[in-house]
Each structure stands twice: as C-alpha cells, then as structure tokens.
Amino acid sequence: MTTANVYQQRPTTGARAESSLHHADLASLVGKGRKNAGVIVREKKLLGHLTLRGDGHDAAFAAGVHKALGIELPGALSVVVKGETSLQWMGPDEWLLIVPSGEEFAAEQQLREALGDLHIAIVNVSGGQQLLELSGPNVRQVLMKSTSYDVHPNNFPVGKAVGTVFAKSQLMIRHTAEDTWELLIRRSFSDYWWLWLQDASAEYGLSVQA
C-alpha cells in the first residue's frame, strides 16, 4: 500500500520544454531595451517547484525538512535562499520549495523519506508557475503601481515574501536583494503579467536579461 503517488513528471530524455513566456520570446529582446533601463526583467524558468504541506508547530516536521534540505523551516512571510534552492513560507502549513530544474523528483523523495509517517503533502507544481526576477532602480515604483502591499524597505526587507494582489490578480512577491525582487507567477497568467510589466515600467524603460 502506498500513501501517495510519487511520479517523475519531468522527462529525463531532453524533451523540449517551453516556459510560460515562451511565446514572448524574451531571449530575442535581450539587449534591445532602453540603455540604463529602470527595470530589468529576467525569467527564472523551468525550475523545480514543490508545494510542501505540514504542521509548522511540530518540531519533528521542521527537523525532517532540515534533515532533507539543510534549510531551517522559514517562519511567516520569509524566504530562505541557499544556493540555487529556496524555501518560502506560503501559509501556516504551507511552504514552497524551489530547486534547480530536474531535482524536484529527488527532493520529493528525500523529503518523504525524512518526514516518515508525519501527515504531510508534497505536490509537484513545476509546470504551473515560475519566477520572474525584476531588478533595477525603478522596480519599487513598478511594484507600487501594481500592488497595495507596502514595498518600502522598512516594511519589506530582503528575505521577505508575501502573497498579495498585483494589478487585477494575485501573486507572490519575494525580495531577494536590495534592488532585486522576484514575482512568483502562475503559468496561465504569465502573459498578463508580462503585458502589465511592460506597460507599468514604460516610463522608466524596461530591458530583458538572459
């Protein structure tokens, strides 16, 4: 009897993959924007995304996560980054683990192994979302145009991550370095976000980074 179906969902044979902004062909726009653009956008695509559910108040759960990932379970509204892996608090019983592309299957197995019989859930959501990195001197203005959440560094320091309303939909905002932010965007909304960001950053200039 198996309690959960754990399945290698990403092909290992090098099949063609398309990010949710594939159609926008961002690669062809690299170097074409305004010089000294106020906002620089970079797609962090095709990474492994796992939703992790469990009881954050249970020491055994936190210990198991630490054992599997070497990362302390982050508390409310924070994201911990370790190399190319990050673990983000999404809710009192929910975290998002992002790992390099293709490592999500092993990560899920390690977590399940480390968490044993605890009541948990791990869900592969890699195909459904991706990160969009925004950097540059005017990112904050673009964020202010888009979300009612206070992005002033006093309120939104590096290492914080919040779910909020953005334009007419919802997403997660992660503050990863002084002038660098990440948006966690859902696949089906990606085109909307891309159009929105182009429009909202028009007055500052937008450029695309590989």
Partner 1 sequence: MSQTNRLSNGGRIDRNKVLSFTFNGQTYKGFEGDTLAAALIANGVDIIGRSFKYSRPRGIFAAGAEEPNAILQIGATEATQIPNVRATQQALYQGLVATSTNGWPSVNNDMMGILGKVGGKLMPPGFYYKTFMYPQSFWMTYEKYIRKAAGLGRSPTENDPDTYDYMNQHCDVLIVGAGPAGLAAALAVARSGARVILADEQEEFGGSLLDSRESLDGKPAMEWVASVLAELKNTPDVLLLPRATVNGYHDHNFLTIHERLTDHLGDRAPIGQVRQRIHRVRAKRVVLATGACERPLVYGNNDVPGNMLAGAVSTYVRRYGVAPGKKLVLSTNNDHAYRVALDWLDASLQVVAIADARSNPRGALVEEARAKGIRILTGSAVIEVRGSKRVTAARVAAIDVKAHAVTSPGEWLDCDLVASSGGYSPVVHLASHLGGKPIWREDILGFVPGEAPQKRVCVGGVNGVYALGDSLADGFEGGVRAAAEAGFQTVEGVLPKALSRVEEPTLALFQVPHEKNSARAPKQFVDLQNDVTAGGIELATREGFESVEHVKRYTALGFGTDQGKLGNVNGLAIAARSLNVSIPQMGTTMFRPNYTPVTFGAVAGRHCGHIFEPVRYTALHAWHVKNGAEFEDVGQWKRPWYFPKNGEDLHAAVKRECKAVRDSVGLLDASTLGKIDIQGPDAREFLNRVYTNAWTKLDVGKARYGLMCKEDGMVFDDGVTACLADNHFVMTTTTGGAARVLQWLELYHQTEWPEMKVYFTSVTDHWATMTLSGPNSRKLLSAVTDIDLSNEAFPFMTWKEGLVGEVPARVFRISFTGELSYEVNVQADYAMGVLEKIVEAGKQYNLTPYGTETMHVLRAEKGFIIVGQDTDGSMTPDDLNMGWCVGRTKPFSWIGQRGMNREDCVRDQRKQLVGLKPIDPTKWLPEGAQLVFNTKQAIPMSMVGHVTSSYAHNSLGYSFAMGVVKGGLKRMGERVFAPLADGSVIEAEIVSSVFFDPKGERQNI
Partner 2 sequence: MLHIFCPHCFELRSEEEFHASGQAHIPRPLDPNACTDEEWGDYMFFRDNPRGLHHELWDHVAGCRQYFNVTRDTVTYEILESYKIGEKPQFTDKAGTAKTATTALGEKV
Q: Which residues bind partner 2 (CB under 8 A)?
A: 76-77, 90-92, 94, 148-149, 162-165, 170
Whole-number Å distance between alpha carbons of 167 and 148: 9
Whole-number Å distance between alpha carbons of 141 and 165: 16
DSSP per-residue codes, 21-75: TGGG-GGGGBTTS-TT-SEEEEEE-S-EEEEEE--TT-HHHHHHHHHHHS-PPP-
Q: How many CB atoms lie within 10 A of CB 96?
A: 21
* 77 interacts with, out of partner 1, partner 2, none, CB within 5 to 8 A per kind: partner 2
Q: Which of 102, 128, 159, 163 binds partner 1 (CB under 8 A)?
A: 128
* 4 interacts with, out of partner 1, partner 2, none, CB within 5 to 8 A per kind: partner 1
- The verdict on 126 binding partner 1 (CB under 8 A) reads yes
* 109 interacts with, out of partner 1, partner 2, none, CB within 5 to 8 A per kind: none
Whole-number Å distance between alpha carbons of 33 and 29: 7
Stretch that binds partner 1, among 56-64, 65-73, 80-88, 148-156 (CB under 8 A): 148-156
Two tokens, residue 190: 């990606």
Interface with partner 1 by CB under 8 A: which residues?
1-5, 7-11, 13, 15-20, 22-23, 46, 51, 53, 93, 119-129, 141, 144-150, 152, 154-155, 167-169, 186-192, 195-196, 199-200, 202-203
